[in-house]
C-alpha cells in the first residue's frame, strides 16, 4: 500500500490549456464595459475630439482655399481688363478695391453732359438732312414737268421763228420787186426828162420811188437777219430743253445724295446715343 501511494503521489499533474478565442472575447467585452463604467465621459470626450478635428479641418481648408501660397512670388490668376468705351470726366466710383463684383454692375460713372450735347447736335443735323431730302425729292417731279414744258415751248418758238424768217424773206422779195420796178421807171424817166417829154417833178418822184424801194429792200433784208437770229435763239433753247433727261437725272442724284445724308446722320444719332 505504501509503495502504491508513493507512486500515486508522483503522478504528474495535467498541463494547463490556453483559452480559446471565443472564451477571450467575453472577457474583453467585460473589461471594456468595465472601463466605460469607470469612465462615463470618455465617449463624449472622444466625440468632441472628432467634431473638433472636423471643424479644424474645414476651417483650414476654407482658409487655404481662398489664398494662394507661393515660394517664388508668382501666382496663377484670371485677369479681366476693364476699360471705358468712351472718355470723359469721372463723377462717381461705385466700387472699392478688392470688392467682389457681379456681371453688369456699374463701376464708374462719367459726366454725360458732353455726350448729351453731342446727341442734340446729331439730332439737329439729322432734322436738317431730312428737310434737305424732302426738298430734293420734291424738286424731282417739278424739274421733270418744267423741262418737258420748256422743250415743248422751245420747239414752238423755233417753229414760229422759222415762219418769221419765211415771211421776212417774202417781204424782201416783194421789196426787191418794187425796187426793180422803181429803178426801171427811173431809167425811163431819165430818157424822157432828157427829151423834155416829162416834167422835172415826175422825174424827181421816180427818183424818190427808187430810193424808197431800195430802203424797203434794206429793211426787209434786216428783218430777215433778225428773224434768223430768232431762229438761232430758238434752236439754242431747244438744245437746252433737250437736256431735260440729264437735268432730271441730276435732281434725282441730288435727292439720292440727300437720302444718303439722312442715313449718315441717323447713324451719327445712333452713335451719339450709344456713347451717352
Answer whether residue 80 is part of any domain.
no
Kindly report, residue by residue over 35-85, the tens digit of the pLDDT.
556 666 767 777 888 888 888 998 888 887 777 666 777 767 788 788 888
Tens-digit pLDDT profile for residues 175-224: 878 778 777 777 777 777 676 766 777 767 777 887 887 888 888 788 87
Other CB atoms within 10 A of residue 50 CB: 10
- Identify whether 270 is part of a domain: yes
How far apart are alpha carbons 139 and 135 in whole angstroms? 6
Residue 267 lies in a domain: yes
Decide if 190 contacts 163 (C-beta within 8 A): no
- Residue 252 counted as domain residue: yes
Count of C-beta atoms within a 10 Å radius of residue 243: 14
Residue pair 272/122 in contact by the 8 Å Cβ criterion: yes
Residue 67 lies in a domain: no
Locate all alpha helices (DSSP H) within 12-112, ordered by sequence: 21-38, 42-65
CA dist., res. 258 & res. 132, Å (int)? 6
| Parent domain of 205 | 113-275
pLDDT recorded at residue 116: 95
Distance, CA of 228 to CA of 230 (rounded, Å): 5
Instruction: Please report, rounded to a whole number, the percentage of residues in the chain having pLDDT higher than 70.
Output: 80
Helix (H, G, I), strand (E, B) or coil at 14: coil
Give CA separation, 95 vs 2, 88, 98, 238, in Å: 115, 18, 9, 78
Bridge partners (DSSP) listed for residue 90? 110
Q: Could you give the CA distance from residue 99 to residue 60 in angstroms, rounded to a whole number? A: 23
Asked whether residue 203 is assigned to any structural domain, the reply reads yes
Counting every residue, how long is the chain?
276
Model confidence, pTM: 0.44
The total domain count for the chain is 1
Residue 11 lies in a domain: no
Whether 19 is covered by a domain: the verdict is no
Amino acid at each position: 500500500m505504501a509503495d502504491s501511494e508513493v507512486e500515486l503521489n508522483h503522478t504528474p499533474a495535467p498541463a494547463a490549456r490556453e483559452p480559446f478565442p471565443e472564451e477571450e472575447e467575453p472577457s474583453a467585452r467585460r473589461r471594456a464595459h468595465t472601463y466605460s463604467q469607470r469612465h462615463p465621459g470618455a465617449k463624449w470626450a472622444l466625440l468632441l475630439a472628432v467634431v473638433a478635428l472636423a471643424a479644424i479641418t474645414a476651417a483650414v481648408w476654407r482658409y487655404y482655399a481662398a489664398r494662394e501660397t507661393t515660394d517664388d512670388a508668382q501666382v496663377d490668376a484670371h485677369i479681366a481688363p476693364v476699360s471705358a468705351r468712351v472718355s470723359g470726366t469721372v463723377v462717381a466710383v461705385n466700387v472699392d478695391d478688392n470688392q467682389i463684383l457681379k456681371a453688369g454692375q456699374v463701376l464708374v460713372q462719367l459726366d454725360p453732359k458732353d455726350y448729351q450735347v453731342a446727341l442734340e447736335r446729331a439730332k439737329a443735323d439729322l432734322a436738317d438732312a431730312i428737310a434737305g431730302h424732302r426738298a430734293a425729292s420734291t424738286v424731282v417731279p417739278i424739274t421733270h414737268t418744267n423741262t418737258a414744258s420748256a422743250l415743248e415751248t422751245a420747239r414752238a418758238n423755233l417753229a414760229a421763228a422759222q415762219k418769221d424768217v419765211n415771211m421776212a424773206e417774202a417781204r424782201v422779195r416783194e421789196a426787191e420787186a418794187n425796187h426793180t420796178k422803181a429803178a426801171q421807171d427811173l431809167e425811163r424817166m431819165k430818157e424822157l426828162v432828157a427829151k423834155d417829154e416829162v416834167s422835172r417833178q415826175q422825174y424827181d418822184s421816180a427818183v424818190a420811188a427808187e430810193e424808197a424801194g431800195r430802203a424797203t429792200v434794206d429793211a426787209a433784208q434786216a428783218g430777215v437777219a433778225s428773224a434768223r437770229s430768232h431762229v438761232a435763239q430758238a434752236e439754242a433753247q431747244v438744245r437746252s430743253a433737250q437736256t431735260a433727261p440729264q437735268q432730271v437725272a441730276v435732281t434725282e442724284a441730288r435727292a439720292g445724295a440727300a437720302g444718303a445724308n439722312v442715313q449718315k446722320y441717323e447713324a451719327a444719332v445712333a452713335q451719339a446715343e450709344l456713347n451717352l
